[in-house]
Amino acid sequence: MCTVFPHSVSARVLWLRLISIGTLAIAMGFLMHASAGPPGAESSGPTDGSTTLQASILKAVELHASPEVLGKLWLTLANRYLDQFELQKAEEAYTHAIRLLHGTPSQAQYADSLRGIGTVYRTSGRLKQARKYLTSSLGIYEALNDRPNVAYLHLALGLERLAERKYREAEAETTAALEEFESGIKPDLSDLSAAYLTRSRAVCGEGRYGSALQDVSRAHNVAQNRFHENSIEMISIWLVQGYVQMQAGLQTEGQLAMNEALRLAQSRTDLPRPFFVALQLAVLRAQAVALKAADRKQEAKHAQDQIAQIEAEARSACNGCTVSVAALVSP
């Protein structure tokens, strides 16, 4: 059965989940954050378009609004651009928000702006810059004793370190996130599942396959009866499980798990076309690298052929898409 995201889930939430799969994929050598968005993030409503926000900013400037008021408006606009996958515009808007909110009483919004631009940098592959801003955001949330956001930032930094193949650092960050989750705060289950998967990939990179599979099992336990069968969370679990199994020498089991991830990804025809394309490509790239590492060249070539076909079809079919398919499908 195909699951449809509820209307309340924004495009930003959707692509952040896909980017999480992509970040795991980068760390594997080819390309969740799999949450419903960071805790307390300010996002514009579905009818609050970027044009209206731009007009509000101009009006606020004319009325000589304070830097704090202007900064909050720029932050809302930046989040709106992120909804629309307009990364360059989001980066510029977050830069304005950071400059205006620095030193104001609105430190939570300042931290949110730092986190936002860090997410943009991580998405576009500028990992060192991402780490700088995410670390700064974490420091502010720690000073504010905002434990849910502290956990979220540790997870975001874990994904960033994983993308750099800094496995020990990624393990430490995700363990810190999990300790926060277990300290009494009520975690978003997508975040909790993503933390186990990220740590699984980290310890797998260190060659500790048994521990890696234990974390995959923990992610399964979190997801059990809580997520739909073909949710982004479940696809991520099958994907990481298959990769770890193949690294551990369990090639038959690993390929079966990865095939299940691909089957579920291909069932998500309810998604907007660019997201559907990005999801399939993330899984196929994972398969291609895992198969190549296992010296299964023929099957790896088949996966690469599928990737090339999907990319070609996506670019020809998605001219004028609201969301940039080129940005989503680019490794």
What's residue 43's pLDDT? Answer: 45
Query: Residues of 75-103 as b/e, b for ≥16 C-beta within 10 angstroms?
Result: bbbbbbbbbbbbbebbbbbbebbbebbee
Q: Mapping DSSP to helix (H, G, I), strand (E, B) and coil, where does residue 331 land?
A: coil
- Residues 6+ away with beta carbon under 8 Å from 303: 284, 285, 287, 288, 291
pTM value? 0.81
H-run or E-run covering 56: helix 50-62
Residue ranges of the chain with pLDDT lower than 70?
A: 1-48, 316-331
Token reading at 201: 């990939």
What's residue 166's pLDDT? Answer: 94
Distance CA 139, CA 129 (A): 16
What's residue 163's pLDDT? Answer: 85
What's residue 21's pLDDT? Answer: 55
11-34+49-65+146-329 CATH fold: 1.25.40
- Residues 6+ away with beta carbon under 8 Å from 158: 170, 171, 172, 173, 174, 177, 195, 198, 199, 202
Distance CA 116, CA 5 (A): 23
- Residues 6+ away with beta carbon under 8 Å from 179: none
- Residues 6+ away with beta carbon under 8 Å from 142: 150
Neighbouring CB atoms inside 10 A of 264's CB total 23
